[in-house]
Amino acid sequence: MANIAVKPRVFKNYGLKIDADNYEAHVSAVSLDPAVSTQTWKGAAPGAVFTDMGDPVWTAGLSYAQDWETPNSLSAYLLANVGKKKLIDFYPLASGPKFTVTGLIVPGSVGGAIDAFGQSTVTLGVDGQPVFLPGAVGVPATTSVTPVSGPVAGGTLVELNGSGFSGATSVLFGTVPATSFIIESDNTIFAITPAAAAGSKPAKVTTPVGVATVLGAYTFV
């Protein structure tokens, strides 16, 4: 008999995407919950008991901040898309398991306690069951660029640190591609700066699942 190790998952640094929009800043809790119905038949004879279990019916629970001012906030999105089926991704920003469901959109509650942040919870119906991808790579995130400046002629070796860099397809300084780059690890990329006009430029790392941008990360002098 095998002794199965356990590695409890701490759900932090996770993202929530509905269609193409990322709502990670809007939610404080996300859960995918199954409900299973059973029925039992009992005959007159001793031991004549039969139990049948139905297929799980899944729901997606969201706890989120009420925001009626930001364009396309989660509050506004749910209200504007009632009854529509949307693809929902619950995924790590670095790496780890990803869950995808097709949810039926319903609106959440409006209002709340006085002198407190408005919060709502909503339960969305799920079409089928969650799709689990155990090793999904999250969207990239860049946290630092070193050095922070170099000549307009380019040719400077720059280290970009962050997460989700595996499979990166491009590195840009402003709109100009790096002369070359090497993916050292999921957390580090080394790039050679291109020739560019003087000024502060954003650094952008693109992967198959997203783009990480740091505004004003590098200055050409």
Which ranges in the chain are annotated with CATH 2.60.40.10? 141-220
CATH homologous superfamily of 141-220? Immunoglobulins (2.60.40.10)
- Which pLDDT value is given to residue 95? 59
How high is the pLDDT of residue 208?
Answer: 76
Of residues 106, 142, 143, the one with CA closest to residue 122? 106
CATH architecture observed for domain 14-133: Beta Barrel (2.40)
Which residues have C-beta within 8 Å of that of residue 25, sequence separation ≥ 6?
none
* Tens of pLDDT, residue by residue, the chain (221 residues): 788 887 676 676 677 889 878 888 899 989 999 999 889 989 988 889 989 988 899 999 999 999 999 988 999 999 999 999 999 988 776 556 778 899 999 999 899 899 999 999 999 999 988 888 766 556 678 888 999 999 999 999 999 988 878 778 899 999 999 999 999 887 899 999 999 999 999 999 988 778 888 888 899 99
Q: Which residues in the chain are classed under CATH 2.40.30?
A: 14-133
**DSSP states of 55-85:** --EEEEEEEEE--SSSTT-HHHHHHHTTT-E
CA 58 to chain centre: 20
Tokens of 95: 């790496």
Does pTM surpass 0.85? no
The C-alpha angle 69, 112, 57, rounded to 5 degrees, equals 90
Beta strands in 106-209 (DSSP E): 119-133, 141-146, 149-150, 157-163, 170-173, 176-177, 180-183, 188-192, 199-207
How many angstroms separate the CA atoms of 212 and 130, rounded? 27
pLDDT for res 187: 84
Question: How much is the pLDDT for 196?
Answer: 94
